[in-house]
């Protein structure tokens, strides 16, 4: 990710009507903010499993020939 922050200037200054955290075993957690103007902001938080494989020479383990990642 280029920028570590995800910003939402569209919601700055809005009044929050309801704030909730939903926990769904299939989709993960969702933070939901509903605003008094009828809009809402939903932020899903999910843990993603990934696999990293490194192919290298035995005598140079810190110099991979290639690295393959899959999510």
pLDDT value at residue 51: 81
Q: Which tens digit of pLDDT belongs to each residue from 23-67?
A: 978 778 899 999 999 999 999 887 777 788 888 888 887 888 877
Mean pLDDT value across residues 7-17: 94
Do 41 and 11 contact (CB within 8 A), yes or no?
yes
Please give the residue range of the domain that contains residue 19: 13-70
Rounded CA separation 40/20 (Å): 11
Q: Is residue 6 assigned to a domain?
A: no
Q: Is residue 21 assigned to a domain?
A: yes
Q: Is residue 8 assigned to a domain?
A: no
Q: Is residue 63 assigned to a domain?
A: yes
pLDDT value at residue 60: 82
Q: Is residue 7 assigned to a domain?
A: no
Q: How many domains does the chain have?
A: 1
Rounded CA separation 53/68 (Å): 5
């Amino acid at each position: 990710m280029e920028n570590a922050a995800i910003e939402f200037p569209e919601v700055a200054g809005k009044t929050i009507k309801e704030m909730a955290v939903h926990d769904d075993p299939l989709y993960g957690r969702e933070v939901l903010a509903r605003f008094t103007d009828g809009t809402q902001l939903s932020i899903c938080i999910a843990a993603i499993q990934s696999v990293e494989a490194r192919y290298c020479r035995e005598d140079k383990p810190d110099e991979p020939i290639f690295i393959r990642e899959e999510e």
